[in-house]
């Protein structure tokens, strides 16, 4: 297929695509890449795999060390879920990553997308992988719409499943994902570089602005998410963070208390006699 040939010639040299990367390395990359830019993930993935090259290594690590290593990637609950996944892989799968989507979905915090991606990219199975980039390419090239709907639809699944076969499915998914990431981008697509330009329904229609209306993304500056991150860094830096350290980390008292309550509820922070700390259990 044209898109696979394009991928073979133009794909980025990402470390989790190396021939010797284990299924565990692919699983870690998929967890890190959720809502995080590739250039931020690359050095963190490399450091992570150096420190914890197997599920058994991560399962033995204190949660506090895992959370510290995750800082800068955002959404730290993903780190807790990845640690729980490592423990489950050791307890249930002998420290190995299973191949099938149902087995992968049974792991803590592994949803349908991650299960499909690991099954495809780690084991070469013809799983239906639908991330934002693939959904955008399908919407434009096959249906003539500028972008996908906010939530995945049954029609998208059926379309993607019909384009995948047993022999090229994993390669096709990787190629279309890359195409959406670097050529068929959301804001400034490079249609002159696209291997699907000759058959793209959206391009043929004159690139109409006919995509679904999306709500504006909430600002990060001043948000509860930013407050949570600042407080988590303060707690990470101290053996027992108390009120003065937390107040220096985030000045707004009401928002600080709300964010701290969320961190406690999520298990990212615990109360100790010395103050607030990262969880220390394995």
Q: Which positions are annotated as active-site residues? A: 30
What does the DSSP assignment read for 117-159? HHHHHHH--------HHHHHHIIIIIH--SS--SS--HHHHHH
Distance CA 164, CA 168 (A): 7
**Ramachandran class of 144: left when φ > 0, alpha when ψ lies in -120 to 50, beta otherwise:** left
Asked whether the beta carbons of 27 and 122 are under 8 A apart, the reply is yes
- Which position has the token pair 């191949």? 99
Q: Is 59 helix (H, G, I), strand (E, B) or coil?
A: helix
**d(Cα 207, Cα 201) in Å, to the nearest integer?**
9
Give the Cα separation of 67 and 52 in Å (integer): 13
Cα dist. 220→20, 110, 214 in Å?
A: 37, 26, 17
Three-state DSSP class for residue 75: coil
Instruction: Look at residues 155, 117, 126 and name the one whose alpha carbon lies nearest to residue 139.
Output: 155
User: Is 74:87 a contact under the CB 8 Å cutoff?
Assistant: no
Torsion, Cα of 119, 74, 43, 241 (10° steps): -130
CA 32 from centroid of its chain's CA atoms: 5
């Amino acid at each position: 297929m044209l898109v696979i040939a394009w991928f073979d010639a133009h794909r980025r040299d990402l470390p989790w695509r190396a021939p010797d990367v284990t299924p565990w390395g692919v699983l870690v990359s998929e967890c890190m890449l959720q809502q995080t830019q590739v250039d931020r993930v690359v050095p963190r993935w490399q450091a992570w795999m150096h420190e914890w090259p197997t599920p058994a290594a991560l399962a033995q690590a204190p949660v506090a060390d895992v959370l510290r290593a995750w800082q800068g990637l955002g959404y730290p609950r993903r780190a807790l879920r990845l640690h729980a996944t490592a423990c489950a892989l050791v307890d249930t799968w002998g420290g190995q990553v299973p191949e099938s989507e149902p087995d992968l979905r049974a792991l803590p915090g592994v949803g349908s997308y991650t299960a499909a991606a690991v099954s495809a990219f780690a084991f070469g199975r013809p799983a239906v992988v639908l991330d934002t980039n693939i959904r955008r390419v399908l919407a434009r090239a096959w249906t003539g719409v500028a972008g996908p709907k906010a939530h995945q639809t049954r029609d998208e699944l059926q379309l993607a499943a019909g384009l995948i076969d047993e022999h090229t499915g994993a390669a096709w998914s990787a190629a279309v994902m890359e195409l959406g990431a670097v050529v068929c981008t959301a804001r400034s697509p490079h249609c002159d570089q696209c291997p699907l330009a000759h058959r793209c329904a959206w391009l043929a229609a004159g690139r109409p602005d006919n995509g679904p209306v999306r709500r504006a993304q909430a600002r990060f500056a001043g948000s509860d998410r930013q407050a949570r991150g600042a407080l988590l860094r303060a707690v990470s830096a101290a053996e027992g963070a108390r009120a003065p350290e937390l107040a220096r980390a985030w000045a707004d008292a009401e928002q600080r208390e709300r964010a701290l309550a969320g961190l406690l509820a999520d298990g990212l922070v615990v109360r100790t006699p010395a103050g607030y700390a990262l969880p220390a259990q394995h």
